[in-house]
Amino acid sequence: MSKVVIKSENLTKVFDNNTRALNGINLTISKGEWVTIMGPSGSGKTTLLNILGGLDKPSNGTVFVDGKDITKLNSRLLTKYRRENIGFIFQQFHLVPYLNAVENVMLAQYFHSIALEQDAEEVLERVGLKERLTHLPTQMSGGEQQRVAVARAIANEPEILLADEPTGNLDQTNGKVVLDLLESLHKEGHTIVMITHDINIAKRSQRIIKLIDGKIYSDKSTRVKSKNPDKKILKNISKKIGG
Amino acid sequence: MLLRLLRKSLIKRKSRVGIAIISVIMGIAMVSALLIISLQVEEKVGDELSKFGPNLVVLPQTESIEVSVGDVELGSVSEQQYIEEQDVVRIEELKYSKNVRGIRGIAPYLFAVVEVNEVSNVIMAGTWFDQVRNINTWWSVEGEWIEDRNDTKKSIIGITVAEKLNLNIGDLYNIKYSSFIKMEDGNSTYFEVDYTFEVTGILTAGSDDDNRIFVNLDILQTITSKEDKVSMIQVTALCNKCSTDVIAAEIEGKLPNVEAKTVKQVADTQMQVLDKIESMMLLISIIALLASALGVMTTMTTSVVERKKEIGMMKAIGAEDRKVASLFLSEALIISIIGGILGFIIGVFIAQYIGESVFQSSISPNYIVFPMVLGISIGVTIASSIIPIRRALKIEPAEVLRSI
């Protein structure tokens, strides 16, 4: 059995306006696992990812990452946690528009420790952008921009990659390139937690967790097929998640 | 990386940065100009005000003896006292005092009543004309001033005297001086001196001076047998942020046998004008700096709002608060240094312009002002960036990035 990297217990998040985004999430993610979180809008996917990434704090419950409860960390230590353990991949890339590809990757290195141009170039080579090193985001396609974002996410070799709809802004071809990249990173041993609405994208991962109303509705491996799929249940789920 | 980030960020937002720099330039140019002027204005205003005459008159201390016969008081008599000529030098030393900003002129006077051409008694004053010219700048002399302190023949006569005695430039006239001189044995001896002077200038002063004859101090001291004695010393001194009374007290402290009187009107006007000018300059500087600070603050706040997502992303990927703050602080520092340097250069020109238009004289750039205004520029810019920076640090990445 692989080592547990993320373990949440009774995770609850109630916003100021009394919206209950998460309602008692118990979740365990092993090292090297690629997990997809699905669910309809407002089901709590992003809130869950934000809490796992240390961008938000739960109202109740705990999140252990490598055995350490990150919900107890203060703001400074949470920043350190994000810097050292997490690589974020955003749907909208969030690249700095006036920095070229190498500099956008170097930015993550600079916030982590020391920015080394050569290392940044190597990371960009890994994501297939050797020829686009000095291009500004506006000079690149969406797929290329997202690959720069992936390069930035892995520049400091984090253990966990959190990706919120990484292909949401991309066409099919570019989306496939990014997914191939995530797959290769998964094979390299990265733990990936990804949000998507697309079941075909979700099937590239090992496990799909479906959230509805802040609760885990289902948690299934994509590798094992159900012998007797309950058509009625699947229909219901499909209806609820809008898929 | 920080430098790279700064350079690109500044170039990318050059119009905004330009506005911030212009804000700083405007404020610093004004402050530089006023500082440069204020360092010289005292001198300039002093020059202007010294044209109104001396602000201190040093007189010998008089000792009066009350005279009475029986119960009837007859009043007081006082022996004519003099100041030693060497005291002039000691008053001159005051320019080294911390209270004294400068001495425009020190003119000793010895007065004597002489009979001119055997018909009229006139007050003759012996003085130093080079100093009198500095103090009584409104004196109008037709003919020649007496340049040499050792000249024994030339005289400048008041216009009233000239008219009364029908004297013109180039005329020679005789004077007779008579007095008693105290001998060593205590007895007084009468003596008379006849001397001939030439009229080299006719003075129009619009005051009692029009009724006098002016000659060199030395020759009058010789004629009157009052070597090294003077009756009065006129001083035009500027006090360093204090009343002229302080200088008067300092003179009296230095020279115990004299009485230093301030010519109140002139002294007070000098101080009041200087104080008002300084207050006005301070007020203008503060307003200019506040306007700069507001400009910088607005630009920095706009910058923070525009870069909200960028800052959110930076914080999300692990940027510490100090690194985010240092980014904005460094930007503010660059803006303040560029603004400070350019502001100073423009300030020098503004000072020059004011100097020429107000004081009709050039104002040289005082480079000691440069580090001062650079410090002010950095201080004001950094201070006005604090609120925007705090705002940047409060940005919650989860909120601004919405979906991470």
Whole-number pLDDT of residue B376: 92
Mean pLDDT of A194-200: 93
Q: How far apart are CA B103 and CA B131, in angstroms?
A: 11
User: Over 80: is that where the pLDDT of B70 sits?
Assistant: no
**Residue B404's pLDDT band (boundaries 50, 70, 90)?**
very low
**Residue B371's pLDDT band (boundaries 50, 70, 90)?**
very high
Picking from B321, B323, B398, the nearest residue to A55 by CB comes out as B398
Least confident of A40-54, B60-74, B149-163, B312-326: B60-74
User: Over 80: is that where the pLDDT of B269 sits?
Assistant: no
Q: What share of chain A has pLDDT > 90, as a percent?
A: 73
Mean pLDDT of B218-237: 90
Picking from A50, A79, A98, the nearest residue to B9 by CB comes out as A98
> Is residue B350 within 8 Å of residue B29, measured between CB atoms?
yes
Mean pLDDT of A132-156: 93
Tell me which chain A residue has its CA closest to the CA of residue B320.
A79
Q: Give me the CATH topology for the region A33-57+81-225.
A: Rossmann fold (3.40.50)
Name every residue whose Cβ is closer than 8 Å to that of residue A148 and which is 6 or more positions away in sequence: A93, A95, A101, A104, A105, A124, A127, A129, A132, A137, A140
Whole-number pLDDT of residue A236: 56
Picking from B9, B309, B318, the nearest residue to A83 by CB comes out as B318
SS3 breakdown of chain B: % helix, strand, coil, rounded to 5?
55, 25, 20
Beta strands at B212-216 and A68-69: parallel, antiparallel or unpaired: unpaired
Q: What is the mean pLDDT of chain B?
A: 85
Which residue type does A17 have?
N
Domain parsing of chain A, residue ranges: 33-57+81-225
Mutate to test the interface with B, among A22, A52, A80, A94 (most CBs of B within 10 A): A94
Whole-number pLDDT of residue B64: 59
User: Over 60: is that where the pLDDT of B192 sits?
Assistant: yes
**Residue A242's pLDDT band (boundaries 50, 70, 90)?**
very low
User: By CB neighbour count within 10 A (0-12 exposed, 13-18 middle, 19+ buried), where does A194 fall?
Assistant: buried
Picking from A80, A88, A112, the nearest residue to B404 by CB comes out as A88
Give the minimum alpha-carbon distance from B393 to chain A in angstroms, rounded to a whole number.
Answer: 11
Tell me which chain B residue has its CA closest to the CA of residue A99.
B8
**How many Cβ atoms from other residues are within 10 Å of residue A36's Cβ?**
24
Chain Cα centroid distance, residue B135: 14
Whole-number pLDDT of residue B48: 65
Residue A86's nearest CA partner among A193, A13, A208 is A193
Per-residue pLDDT of A153-171, as tens digits, reads: 999 999 999 999 999 888 8
Whole-number pLDDT of residue B403: 43
Whole-number pLDDT of residue B72: 61
Whole-number pLDDT of residue B247: 79
In the numeric block, which tokens belong to residue B269? 């006007």
- The pair phi, psi for residue B211, each rounded to 5°, is -95, 5
Least confident of A174-178, B129-133, B356-360, B384-388: B356-360
Whole-number pLDDT of residue B362: 78
Mean pLDDT of A104-112: 94
In the numeric block, which tokens belong to residue A212? 């509805």
Picking from B2, B313, B320, the nearest residue to A79 by CB comes out as B320
User: Is A98–B12 a contact, with Cβ atoms under 8 angstroms apart?
Assistant: yes
**Residue A210's pLDDT band (boundaries 50, 70, 90)?**
very high
User: Over 80: is that where the pLDDT of B66 sits?
Assistant: no
User: Is A55–B8 a contact, with Cβ atoms under 8 angstroms apart?
Assistant: no
What is the DSSP-derived secondary structure letter of residue B361? S
Q: List CB contacts (< 8 A) between A46 and chain B.
A: 402-404
Give the minimum alpha-carbon distance from A218 to chain B in angstroms, rounded to a whole number.
Answer: 23
User: Over 70: is that where the pLDDT of A60 sits?
Assistant: yes
> Is residue B252 within 8 Å of residue B90, measured between CB atoms?
no
User: Is B403–A83 a contact, with Cβ atoms under 8 angstroms apart?
Assistant: no
Where is mean pLDDT largest: A238-242, B218-222, B351-355? Answer: B218-222
SS3 A192: strand
- In the stretch 7-46 of chain B, residues with CB closer than 8 A to chain A read 8-9, 11-12
CA dihedral (B160, B165, B170, B176) positive or negative: negative
Whole-number pLDDT of residue B237: 77
Q: How far apart are CA A209 and CA A230, in angstroms?
A: 17
User: Is B397–A97 a contact, with Cβ atoms under 8 angstroms apart?
Assistant: no
Picking from A83, A90, A107, the nearest residue to B404 by CB comes out as A90
Q: List CB contacts (< 8 A) between B312 and chain A.
A: 94
Q: Tell me the pTM.
A: 0.66
Q: List CB contacts (< 8 A) between A116 and chain B.
A: none
User: By CB neighbour count within 10 A (0-12 exposed, 13-18 middle, 19+ buried), where does B160 fall?
Assistant: middle
Whole-number pLDDT of residue B265: 62
Whole-number pLDDT of residue B65: 57
SS3 B319: coil
Which residue type does B165 have?
L
Tell me whether B316 touches chain A (CB under 8 Å). yes
In the numeric block, which tokens belong to residue B381? 């810019």
User: Over 90: is that where the pLDDT of A30 sits?
Assistant: yes
Tell me whether B306 touches chain A (CB under 8 Å). no
Per-residue pLDDT of B298-344, as tens digits, reads: 988 998 898 899 999 999 999 999 999 999 999 999 999 999 999 99
SS3 A58: coil
User: Is B318–A79 a contact, with Cβ atoms under 8 angstroms apart?
Assistant: yes
User: By CB neighbour count within 10 A (0-12 exposed, 13-18 middle, 19+ buried), where does A243 fall?
Assistant: middle
